[in-house]
Amino acid sequence: MIQTRPRPVPEEVTSSDAVRLSSVVKRFTDSKGERFTAVDGIDLRIRRGEIVAFLGPNGAGKTTTIDMLLGLTRPDEGSVRLFGREPRQAVRSGQVAAVLQTGGLLPDLSVEATVRMLGSLHPRADIDAVLSRAGLDQLRRRRVAECSGGEQQRLRFALALLSGPELLVLDEPTAGMDVVARRDFWATVREDAERGMTVMFATHYMEEADRFADRVVMIDSGRVVVDGQVSDVRSALSGRTVSARIAEQSAAALAQSPLVRSCEPRGGRYHFDTTDSDALLRLLIEQTSATDIEVTPRSLEEAFMTLTHHSRTEGGTR
Ligand SMILES: Nc1ncnc2c1ncn2[C@@H]1O[C@H](COP(=O)(O)OP(=O)(O)OP(=O)(O)O)[C@@H](O)[C@H]1O
């Protein structure tokens, strides 16, 4: 079942947990000197071998959560454990690796020299295998400065693979890649995931979550608003929008129907987000004088927008 609120996570950390965030809170000071809550009590448990997409609009708190997960910053409240250990310990041991949006690459080194240099820190790293897994075979001699944004991301991915991590954390790894590069990148990550690696990735692309993840965690304003298996989220959130020209009073009455999840006036029409478009159509035709009726499938993107909007109006934000 899809959960639209954070699921309660038992206190103990079990050996099957790769990630365990308990009531994690992070506050910052904004440009006016006021404190605000960027991450507002996130509970999250990721089991070994899961592939989890971490979604949310700009400023939702994804990067802040990932930074805490990797031990780059500490939460103000709550706790973070990776494989039952402190994040820094797990990262230092190579059990956990990350591909972040920014990250120091030396522009004058070649791709291969970069991988070899960092590979020397991991005695058991197989440099050739890593280069090939990251799709860098053809780019070995290219200077980092001459690599495209997408190629540099693949290089960061190769560096993350060097330690043979059990958990890979990717923060918008395909930002800046074209469609083909994105597809190739995910094919490579999927191969690694199939060998049992746990993967958590933040993305803006709903389609990447849909195609690649087992589970989707959506956050908004620092809170989890959806947590569920991709197929459940898809079927629970997808649906149809029925729109029509209709009198305000009739629209308000229909909006009270259990068939209607939300109703919005736009462009001289009312747009009803519904779980059962056939039943709503019957109501519109039989009980109102609606005209110019249209039924359109609702994308996950729209569903997410509706959901995050709801969480804002219901729960309030900072
Ligand atoms: N060091 C900081 N100091 C002050 N505010 C910060 C700091 N880091 C992040 N923030 C703010 O915290 C909020 C959450 O930011 P975060 O980068 O985690 O969001 P995000 O979901 O990763 O967004 P995006 O998709 O745009 O990368 C934003 O309002 C951001 O401006």
Sequence spans of domains, the chain: 17-235, 239-298
Burial of 264 (0-12, 13-18, 19+ CB in 10 A): middle
Give yes or no for residue 38 CB within 6 A of ligand 1.
yes
96-99 and 167-171 as β-strands: parallel, antiparallel, unpaired?
parallel
**Probe target for ligand 1 pocket from 34, 58, 63, with the most ligand atoms within 8 Å of CB:** 63
Element (H, E) at 1: none
For ligand 1, the distance from its centroid to the CA atom of residue 36, given in whole angstroms, is 11
Q: What is the dihedral of CA 284, 286, 288, 290, to 10 degrees?
A: 50
pLDDT in tens, the chain (318 residues): 444 444 444 444 455 789 999 999 999 998 889 999 999 999 999 998 899 999 888 889 999 999 999 999 999 999 999 999 999 999 988 899 988 876 678 889 999 999 999 888 888 889 999 999 888 999 999 999 998 888 888 899 899 899 889 999 998 888 777 788 788 888 888 887 788 889 999 987 777 888 888 899 999 899 998 898 887 776 666 678 899 999 999 999 999 999 898 898 988 999 998 878 899 999 999 999 999 999 886 666 666 666 666 555 544 434
Q: pLDDT by residue (tens digit) across 44-59? A: 999 988 999 998 888 8
Which pTM was predicted? 0.75
Cβ of 205 closer than 6 Å to ligand 1, yes or no, is no
Residue whose Cα lies nearest atom 26 of ligand 1: it is: 58
Query: Residue 52: what pLDDT?
Result: 94
Which residue spans within 267-306 are E strands per DSSP? Answer: 269-274, 291-298
CB 81 within 8 A of CB 15: no
CATH class, domain 239-298, is alpha beta
The pair phi, psi for residue 93, each rounded to 5°, is: -80, -5
Task: Judge contact between 232 and 15, C-beta under 8 A.
Answer: no
Are the C-beta atoms of residues 307 and 55 closer than 8 Å to each other? no
Give the Cα separation of 19 and 166 in Å (integer).
11
pLDDT at 300: 60
DSSP string, 78-103: EEEEETTB-HHHHHHTTSEEEE-SS-
> Ligand 1, atom 18: nearest CA belongs to which residue?
61
Residue 63 in contact with ligand 1 by CB distance below 6 A: yes
**Number of Cβ atoms within 10 Å of the Cβ of 78:** 16
Counting from 1 in the atom list of ligand 1, the atom nearest the Cα of 204 is 25
Does ligand 1 come within 6 angstroms of the Cβ of 60?
Answer: yes
Domain 17-235: which topology?
Rossmann fold (3.40.50)
Q: In whole angstroms, what is the distance from residue 225 CA to residue 222 CA?
A: 9
* pLDDT for the residue 185: 82
* All residues at 6 or more sequence positions from 312 whose CB lies less than 8 Å from its CB, including other chains: 220, 221
**13 CB near ligand 1 (under 6 Å):** no
Cβ 61 under 6 angstroms from ligand 1: yes
CA of 286 to the centre of ligand 1 (A): 49
pLDDT of residue 303: 62
